[in-house]
Amino acid sequence: MKNRTYRYTENNVLFPFGFGLNYSEVICTEIEYSSGIAEVKAENSENAVPNVSLCDFKRIKLIAGKSLSVKIPVLEKAFAAVDENVTGKRFDSRFTLYAGTHQPDPLSDEL
């Protein structure tokens, strides 16, 4: 059986076990085993949309060395995503809200 199945391989395989079984990022945590049953908490950690979007912004003037607390209204529709069907049906999901002076990505951070 050596190197014939995933279980007995000693080398890297072309695709790891389970590759391609889902199109999302699922995190499994809190595994418990009791009386022949494993219970696992599974969470879909992927955002509903693949890219960030600008919800709103506020232009401010800030003197060097000073700080300012800024309130920015964000409409409820910013926390909805539209499906790809012709119906354009909106669905609820979990979103991450960012605040900053640029888009939250490595290139913007570098620039």
pLDDT in tens, 12-43: 767 766 677 766 677 888 888 899 888 888 87
Residue 107, helix vs strand vs coil = helix
pLDDT at 76: 80
- pTM reported for the whole predicted model: 0.45
pLDDT tens, residue by residue, 38-77:
888 887 767 566 677 778 888 888 888 888 888 888 888 7
- The dihedral sign for the CA sequence 14, 20, 26, 30: negative
Q: Kindly report, residue by residue over 77-105, the tens digit of the pLDDT.
A: 777 777 666 566 666 666 778 888 777 77
| Four-residue CA torsion sign, 14, 16, 18, 24 | negative
